[in-house]
Amino acid sequence: MSISDSTQPNRRVLIASANPLFARGLQKMVAERWAERRVDVRISANMEDAIAVLEEWQPDLLIVDYDDVGQPGSIQRGEFLNRFIAGNRPMQVMLVSLRASGEVVVYDRRTLTPSQAEDWLDLPWMPAAETADSNTQDQSARLASGPNRADFETPKIQRSGSMKHYVIAGILTVIVTVLSYLLLISIGLLPEAAAVQAGPVDRMVNLQLWMIAFLFSLITVFIGYSIVVFRQRRGEVVDGTYFKGSTGLEVIWTIFPLAAVIGLSFLGAQALGEVRQVDTSAMTINVTAFQWGWIYEYPDYGVQSNILYMPINRQARLLLTSRDVIHSFWVPEFRVKQDALPGENLVKELRITPNKLGEYQVMCAELCGGAHAYMNTPVRVVTQEEFDAWLNEQSNAAALPPEERGQRAANASGCLACHSLDGAQMSGPTWLGLSGSEIQLQDGSTVTADDEYLYAAIVDPNQQIHAGFAPIMPQTYQDTLSEEQIQDIIAFINSLE
């Protein structure tokens, strides 16, 4: 250190104090402290000399006797401070008070604005008597009166009782938290809960709403409170107290979020465990999603449907897959949601125990193409008796006339997600009056919708595109419908005159 220092000019330190003991004591301290450095020290006992030395000698560090104030000819810390602020040479100012048990304040121009430098005079260890006295003066007049006036050194308004502010802001935070929470739950973010699995989900959502309300309040209350209570009042031209770093605050804002995250992951894992709880007597339902509909197969009963029937209070084990792209099975009242992925190895399980009778909607919660928004089909939560009756009716389907079987097949295969039965135009042409009609094709030709045409349109839909419609019909029906089902569906279309 001393080697590199030797190439540089000596450090210059000016000690400004009218008290010889103070000055010599500091000089000794400086010499001991920087024994390895080359330091030149000068002492000025009065203002005139100090200013002259300051200007001509240009010290790196100025040590000012903070207590030496008021007597004629003595050291004026305000004057030094003023010069320090106005100058642009690198220099540090150190204020040392013996009265306040050796308190030291170091000023560095880089980290300081003029108004902060004024604040610096408002040191916390100022004797109370001086503070009270100076507060009675008009502050703006005091500031305008110039740095040499004795009142320059007087402290500014002290907003004491910071504990009081914390208590008030804390109470306001609690009140605003409760109000925000009540507002959030009054919006009705969630529909009624209709499954056992909704319990843990709602519990977590509720906790999250509390946290949202609290964090919102914490931020807005403290900002609002500060804006109102600590606003700049008439005649105030100074900045707030400057401080850098707060270990206590940093510890708090590290530990609390850490604890919150750990706590939330624990609660989240617990909720997930509850949602996935396995009931060994669960009824399996194979769910196949496709563009754009759902097929539900009950393997234990040999029944297939496009409407999901679930007996109440019995866990259903849904095994989800997709015939084409990624879909997502979601019934908001049941809360839980699961993607349906294409591929035999990617069958996903979802457990739902409905506990409220009624009809809800299955929705697709994954953008999956043109009719994604219409991929809604009913789900009916029924009593066990109703469920049995429905199963019975489904298994007797073979005895029905072909057009009725066709209607069921069309339902179960999702045809009716795109083709209406009442003349309304959806993504595909309506089936009402389709049979035997003349169809305008995209290439300008026309064709009669006879059985042959209908068959071709089902198994190879892109061969002849109906004018005005996009070629979006899945080309998978040849594989997924049996020959008999195709004939039944044609019979059904023919019956819609």
Give me the 215-234 binding string for ligand CUA, x by CB under 6 A, dash otherwise: --------------------
Whole-number minimum distance, CB 288 to ligand CUA, in Å? Answer: 12
Whole-number minimum distance, CB 426 to ligand CUA, in Å? Answer: 15
Stretch that binds ligand CUA, among 70-78, 152-160, 349-357, 366-374 (CB under 6 A): 366-374
Number of neighbours of residue 420 by Cβ within 10 angstroms: 16
Q: How far apart are CA 141 and CA 338, in angstroms?
A: 71
Q: Is there binding between residue 37 and ligand CUA (CB under 6 A)?
A: no
Tell which residue, 93, 69, 70, 68, has the closest CA to residue 82: 93
**Residues 6 or more apart in contact with residue 446 via CB below 8 angstroms:** 438, 439, 440
Contact indicator for 308, 378 with CB cutoff of 8 Å: yes
Q: Is there binding between residue 375 and ligand CUA (CB under 6 A)?
A: yes
CB of 76 or CB of 427, closer to ligand CUA: 427
Q: Is there binding between residue 327 and ligand CUA (CB under 6 A)?
A: yes
Q: Considering CB under 6 A, how many residues would be counted as binding ligand CUA?
A: 9
Number of neighbours of residue 376 by Cβ within 10 angstroms: 14
Number of neighbours of residue 233 by Cβ within 10 angstroms: 8
CB of 368 or CB of 481, closer to ligand CUA: 368
Evaluated on CA atoms 83, 85, 87, 92, the torsion sign reads positive
Euclidean distance between the first and final Cα of the chain, in Å?
103
**114-173 positions binding ligand CUA, by CB under 6 A:** none
Q: Is there binding between residue 83 and ligand CUA (CB under 6 A)?
A: no
Stretch that binds ligand CUA, among 145-153, 194-202, 362-370, 403-411 (CB under 6 A): 362-370
Stretch that binds ligand CUA, among 43-51, 62-70, 265-273, 368-376 (CB under 6 A): 368-376
**Residues 6 or more apart in contact with residue 360 via CB below 8 angstroms:** 194, 331, 332, 333, 334, 378, 379, 381
Could you say which DSSP state residue 415 is in? G
Contact indicator for 229, 169 with CB cutoff of 8 Å: no
Whole-number minimum distance, CB 280 to ligand CUA, in Å? Answer: 31
CB of 310 or CB of 320, closer to ligand CUA: 320
Q: Is there binding between residue 323 and ligand CUA (CB under 6 A)?
A: no
Q: Is there binding between residue 366 and ligand CUA (CB under 6 A)?
A: yes
Q: How far apart are CA 89 and CA 140, in angstroms?
A: 29
Number of neighbours of residue 339 by Cβ within 10 angstroms: 17
Stretch that binds ligand CUA, among 22-30, 350-358, 360-368, 428-436 (CB under 6 A): 360-368
Evaluated on CA atoms 268, 274, 277, 283, the torsion sign reads negative
C-alpha dist (Å) from residue 236 to 134, 164, 230: 15, 23, 11
**231-250 positions binding ligand CUA, by CB under 6 A:** none
Among 16, 184, 364, 493, binds ligand CUA (CB under 6 A): 364
CB of 114 or CB of 369, closer to ligand CUA: 369
Whole-number minimum distance, CB 461 to ligand CUA, in Å? Answer: 18
CB of 69 or CB of 307, closer to ligand CUA: 307
CB of 292 or CB of 296, closer to ligand CUA: 292
Among 12, 109, 149, 372, binds ligand CUA (CB under 6 A): 372
**Residues 6 or more apart in contact with residue 125 via CB below 8 angstroms:** 97, 100, 103
CB of 44 or CB of 377, closer to ligand CUA: 377
Whole-number minimum distance, CB 363 to ligand CUA, in Å? Answer: 8
Q: Is there binding between residue 368 and ligand CUA (CB under 6 A)?
A: yes
Stretch that binds ligand CUA, among 18-26, 43-51, 301-309, 365-373 (CB under 6 A): 365-373
CB of 372 or CB of 380, closer to ligand CUA: 372
Whole-number minimum distance, CB 375 to ligand CUA, in Å? Answer: 4
Q: Interior CA angle at 187 toward 184 and 191, to 5°?
A: 110
Whole-number minimum distance, CB 289 to ligand CUA, in Å? Answer: 6
Q: What is the 3-state secondary structure (H, E, C) of 218-252?
A: HHHHHHHHHHHHCCCCCCCCCCCCCCCCCHHHHHH
C-alpha dist (Å) from residue 433 to 249, 392, 459: 75, 32, 21
Residues that bind ligand CUA (CB under 6 A): 289, 292, 327, 364, 366-368, 372, 375
